[in-house]
Amino acid sequence: MKFKISIPVQNWCIFVIFLNNILSVLPATLVTYPEDEVWSFIKETPKRNLTKKCADSLGLVESYLTDHSTLEEQRRFFSASFGTGDAIQFVSRDQDRWIFRAMKCIKAAGETSYSASEYPLSYCYGVPSLWDSEEADTAYGICLPSTCADNHKTLLREWQSIASNKSDSKNLEYEGCTKSRHTKQWYEQFIPMADFSFDMVLIFLVGIATVYHVKRGENSKSVPIQLLLAFSAKKNLRKLVEMPKDPQSTIQCMFGLRFLSMVWTLVGHSFIFVQAYLDNVDEYKADLVDNFWNQWITNFTLSVDVFLTLSGTLTAYSWFKKWQKNTTEKEPSWNSYGYWLRFYRHRVVRLWPAYIYTLLTVTTRLSITHYHPMWPPTDPAVQCPSHWWENILFINSLLDNRCMPWTWYIGTEFIFYLVSPIFLLSLRRHPSFGLGLSAIVIIISALFNVGGMLVYNFPPTQFLWKQPEIFNPDYIKHHLLLYIKPQYRIGPYIVGLLLGYYLAGFQAQTQKKQRSIRFIVGGWALASVAGFWSLYGLYPAAQVRI
């Protein structure tokens, strides 16, 4: 049902975009410089504006990388890390290539997780503007000895002058360096160790509670013992897998859909993240995009719509099932403020403990567990100290989604939960009005998607590997302006609410109408065609050539 409403609109938009967009040429990818130019930069950079320590380190770079004990690939990695590229794509289409160059620089240092290099390096970069620039600016990246960290601005300016033949003198407003090794490892810092110790205490508590549960059972009236048993692995694992006593209180097929969607999401993201570590990334992208049957990977973002539909279905199904039963509790109305506050509190209480714990752990420890830092524009240790409150208030998808960007779904889905009473009450009190309201909102959301595609020249969905040159190549902009915004994603959620409403009503029927074989076969055929079209219907859009 969801597919029939949202996906055809996207496919028809392809034709409209052809008529309305101005053909643009995709900016060139990152430029790599010959090894002799890199060595010339290292040797001939004026030393008068540098600290003595930095100047001495620059003089030792060549001898270190050409020493017989240094691997030849380290020297190649060093020179390959120098480059320039389109500044607009620094955190968008070319982001994986910049990360790839940073990895080259880090590998050139010869660092390992168990031993520090005698010649640590830092990958430094400079961009005129990080997020909002629409001009054809250039970003620059260089690999330097870590002792030059205090002089990286001077050296970036020098590389900017050399790489542009002195034609680019714009101020590099966003600058930074990624070291080949943290100054202090996580186990040498108080806060990460405190977080780790807390995790160890929890694991110890779970162990004690589980042993007590196995030896003594859970028939204890002591409050401290009951609190201890709440951490029992035996008890919690049983809770996770046991079915409810009322078989009609849950929709069992949803378990399989959720599992398959999780696998689908993990596979898709794995194929995205691996790009930053591939040398032949263009060949990799072409193999994925040009093979028709690989679209289950390249179009994996449909799995998000599955989760939104499941969420809406379960919300509506449980709510309508409750009020269809004989109960002495008064049904809520539009002005039942106490009830709706409890309705929201239930969701917040379920989300906050795990969400806050994850936010703290990822920010304070997991993001610095590796021996070298992460990519700063997306590093939780860099972004979350300033933007954590956006996640806690569930408004990160309304803003720039800087802290733990993968959690945009939590914020968007929570906003849908906030507005769900409008549809629940409408369907409960006036089903015809509720159905009409749901259909209108779905259509408006689809039209918003159409408008966004036309205004910004975005493709029908995010093409995260490779896309035709006629579309806007800035998929981060696409992500922030359309992909994560609630007004563009609410359609599948409302479809889920309608599905939950229908299923609850169907379960409430004392005598269920038997469907004919023709009806069942026709329904499966229609669903299969809609699903195939949703998954593979974007292939023509990905193959357009000019």
- The parent domain of residue 372 ranges over 243-542
Q: What pLDDT was estimated at residue 48? A: 83
- Domain shared by 435 and 518, yes or no: yes
- Domain shared by 463 and 319, yes or no: yes
Q: What pLDDT was estimated at residue 179? A: 92
What phi and psi values does residue 251 have, to the nearest 5 degrees?
Answer: -110, 100
pLDDT (average), residues 401-409: 92
- By the 10 Å C-beta count (0-12 exposed, 13-18 middle, 19+ buried), 253 is classed as exposed
Identify the band that residue 131 occupies on the pLDDT scale cut at 50, 70 and 90: low
Q: What pLDDT was estimated at residue 16? A: 30
For residue 463, the one-letter residue type is: F
Q: What pLDDT was estimated at residue 243? A: 78
Identify the band that residue 13 occupies on the pLDDT scale cut at 50, 70 and 90: very low
Residue-averaged pLDDT of the chain: 87
**Domain for residue 158, yes or no?**
yes
Span of 321-325, 335-339, 386-390, 427-431 with lowest mean pLDDT: 321-325
Own/partner long-range contacts of 397-400 (Cβ < 8 Å, ≥24 apart): 397/484, 397/485, 397/486, 398/485, 398/486, 400/131, 400/480
Strand partners, 125: 141, 176
Does the pLDDT of residue 241 top 80, yes or no?
Answer: yes
Q: What pLDDT was estimated at residue 329? A: 80
**Domain for residue 17, yes or no?**
no
Identify the band that residue 135 occupies on the pLDDT scale cut at 50, 70 and 90: low
Distance CA(344)–CA(334), nearest Å, equals 15
- Domain shared by 374 and 406, yes or no: yes
- Domain shared by 209 and 148, yes or no: no
- Domain shared by 470 and 456, yes or no: yes
**Domain for residue 449, yes or no?**
yes
**Quick one: tokens of 36?**
């002799």
Distance CA(377)–CA(528), nearest Å, equals 41
Domain endpoint, select from 142, 164, 181: 181
For the stretch 246-290, pLDDT in tens is: 766 778 888 889 999 999 999 999 998 888 888 888 889 889 988
**Domain for residue 12, yes or no?**
no
**Domain for residue 7, yes or no?**
no
- Domain shared by 257 and 229, yes or no: no
Q: What pLDDT was estimated at residue 378? A: 82
- Domain shared by 423 and 309, yes or no: yes
- Domain shared by 327 and 392, yes or no: yes
Question: 3-class SS at 418?
Answer: helix
Three state DSSP letters for 38-90? HHHHHHHCCCCCCCHHHHHHHHHHHHHHCCCCCCHHHHHHHHHCCEEEEHHHC
Identify the band that residue 68 occupies on the pLDDT scale cut at 50, 70 and 90: confident
For the stretch 43-55, pLDDT in tens is: 888 888 899 999 9
Does the pLDDT of residue 441 top 60, yes or no?
Answer: yes
Nearest to 60 by CA among 112, 109, 107: 109
Distance CA(201)–CA(67), nearest Å, equals 48
Domain count, the chain: 3
**Quick one: tokens of 480?**
């922030």
Q: What pLDDT was estimated at residue 454? A: 93
- Domain shared by 527 and 497, yes or no: yes
Higher pLDDT, 512 or 237: 237
For residue 192, the one-letter residue type is: P
Report the predicted TM-score, pTM, of the whole model to 2 decimal places: 0.85
